[in-house]
Amino acid sequence: MDIFHIDGPVRLSGSVTINGSKNASLPIMAAAILVPGKTILQSVPHLSDIKLFSTLLENLGCKVSRDPNDNLEIDAAVVDNPIGDYEIVSKMRGSICILGPLLGRCGRAEVSMPGGCAIGDRPIDIHLRGLKALGADIHLKNGYVVAETPNGLIGTDIFLGGPFGSTVLGTANIMMAAVLANGTTVIDSAACEPEIVDLANCLNTMGAKISGIGSPRLTIEGVDKLEPVKYTVIPDRIEAGTFMAAAAITSGRLSIKNCKLEHLMAVVDKFRQIGVIVEKANGGIEVTRDGSLKTADVTTQPYPGFPTDLQAQLMALLSLADGNSIVIEKIFPDRFMHVAELNRMAAHLRKEGPVVIVSGVKQLIAAPVMASDLRASAALVLAGLAAEGTTIVNRVYHIDRGYEKIEERLNPLGAKIERQSI
Ligand code: EPU
């Protein structure tokens, strides 16, 4: 197991290029299941979650490899074992997005129920409701969702809203099942996240007929088959937001390249509110902090609202603001594992249900802390960059799931992070 030693405080400066999006790559890799041929994906990041998902696809019968240009090739000529094992699905909830494409391709799927994780319950009831509406017979057997389509999938009108808004991977699942269904499917309350837009664009490149992309109403006319394509995944907006926070928390200046400002408007707005300068610069953004941080109130929301995947990182930043801020988590109300860890570093955070009151402190102090999930770990790394002394972050494997060698990206910018295997 690896740990990080982070010496702080540091001031970051320089330029960093954002990788392809993890959360766009995963459903797009699942979409390859629908194509009896070789899908070639550019800009898929090198992450442990991508490796695990590749193994999941290989277990189904696909061949997955990197070509000499680092493109990810998924050959789905054969998909003869439509089973998503507990072993993998329990490690990565994103695996559930094979369910829809497996039904579309094989007419049958057995995928382990994901269960909960460090950020909350993660139910899949809306996914199953949508697939049932398309004509799937679904039952649970030994912890597995067993789905079959005795009469094929049939297009219909589906409402995908839930208690916390739409569902990102639920929308991905239903969209991928519907592209090969008979007739037209209309999904209402579809997720509008850029990762869903990217998936829909990729499916259309493959020959699907999806309209309303980026809106809460998607119309999908079923087609007979999809063709293999080469497709480039969008840049990772959450990685970009994390580097923005790294610049801000260290009073630094970063030029963040290969990043789409339009995917980050709610984040940019919040950063500007707290006194961080964010400017559009050729093909990316420049982030500078000069002066103290102001307070802000933030509520996480489905896109285009402030993303839950940047809530922990913003909280680390607000813990150094001049006064009190309020953070409300409206997507995963229990996603606060970082609160107690940041408090170990002398932050002043008080959690009341899905709300955290952040009383800004002048200085964070290094401490040994425990990474609990991907984004919470990123917040601890950010805090470590700003804290006085040597912060030790345990269970770094959580960070490796979503940030490619983060220490090798941050150290050239002025960070002092050492990875140690223990
Ligand atoms: N929900 C239900 N029923 C469902 C599905 C979802 O009640 O059937 C609820 C969830 O419990 C949550 C809300 O709806 O309260 C939204 O969850 P969603 O389904 O949108 O989350 P997801 O698709 O499972 C993806 C990302 C997450 C990201 C969320 C929200 C991937 C692989 N995962 O999860 O990313 O936080 O959307 O934007 O794309 C991460 O990268 O760290 C991460 C957790």
- Of these residues, 117, 192, 202, 259, which one is catalytic? 117
pTM score of the predicted model: 0.97
Helix, strand, coil share (%) of the chain residues, nearest 5: 35, 30, 35
Choose the final residue of a domain: 232, 265, 297. 232
The yes-or-no answer on residue 117 being catalytic is yes
Q: How far is CA 97 from CA 19, 26, 189, 222, 307, in A?
A: 22, 8, 18, 19, 20
For residue 116, what pLDDT is reported?
63
Q: Which of 232, 264, 294 is the last residue of a domain?
A: 232
Identify which of 95, 167, 174, 195 to mutate to test ligand 1's pocket (most ligand atoms within 8 A of the CB): 167
Residues 161 and 267 in one domain: no
- pLDDT attached to residue 119: 80
User: What residue ranges line ligand 1, CB within 6 angstroms?
Assistant: 23, 26, 93-94, 119, 121-127, 162-164, 167-170, 308-309, 331-332, 374-375, 402
Peptide bond into 9 cis (omega under 30): yes
Q: Are 274 and 161 members of one domain?
A: no
pLDDT given for residue 419 in this prediction: 97
Q: Which of 300, 205, 237 is nearest to 24 (CA)?
A: 237
141 and 184 belong to one structural domain: yes
DSSP state of 20: B
Tell me: do 220 and 308 sit in the same domain.
no
* 112 and 223 belong to one structural domain: yes
pLDDT tens across the length of the chain (422 residues): 899 999 999 999 999 999 999 999 999 999 999 999 999 999 999 999 999 999 999 999 999 999 999 999 999 999 999 999 999 999 999 999 999 999 999 999 999 998 667 787 789 999 999 999 999 999 999 999 999 998 999 999 999 999 989 999 999 999 999 999 999 999 999 999 999 999 999 999 999 999 999 999 999 999 999 999 999 999 999 999 999 999 999 999 999 999 999 999 999 999 999 999 999 988 899 999 989 999 999 999 999 999 999 999 999 999 999 999 999 999 999 999 999 999 999 999 999 999 999 999 999 999 999 998 999 999 999 999 999 999 999 999 999 999 999 999 999 999 999 999 98
> Same structural domain for residues 322 and 261?
yes
Give the pLDDT score at 115: 66
Query: What CATH number does the domain containing 119 carry?
Result: 3.65.10.10
**Ligand 1: centre distance to CA 194 (Å):** 14
Residues 89 and 207 grouped into a single domain = yes
Residue 18 tokens read as 């954002």
Alpha carbon distance 283, 300 (integer Å): 27
Q: Are residues 44 and 187 in the same domain?
A: yes
Indicate if 59 and 186 belong to the same structural domain. yes
From the list 327, 319, 325, the residue with the least C-alpha distance to 360 is: 319
The Å distance, Cα 122 to ligand 1 centre, comes to: 7
Give the position, in ligand 1's atom list, of the atom nearest the Cα of 238: 41
Nearest CA to ligand 1 atom 24: 169
CA distances from 55 to 63, 94, 312 (A): 9, 13, 30
Instruction: Say if residue 214 is in the same domain as residue 300.
Output: no
* Best residue among 23, 98, 189, 400 to mutate for probing ligand 1, ranked by most atoms within 8 Å of CB: 23
What is the tally of structural domains in the chain? Answer: 2
Q: Which two tokens stand for residue 368?
A: 């040994």
What distance in angstroms lies between residue 389's CA and the mean position of ligand 1's atoms? 35
- Note the pLDDT of residue 117: 72
The token pair at 331 is: 């997507």
Asked which of 232, 263, 284 is the last residue of a domain, the reply is 232
Supply the pLDDT for residue 160: 96
Owning domain of residue 278 = 2-19+235-421
- Asked if residue 260 and residue 207 are part of one domain, the reply reads no
Same domain, 248 and 221: no
Q: Which pLDDT score is estimated for 19? A: 97
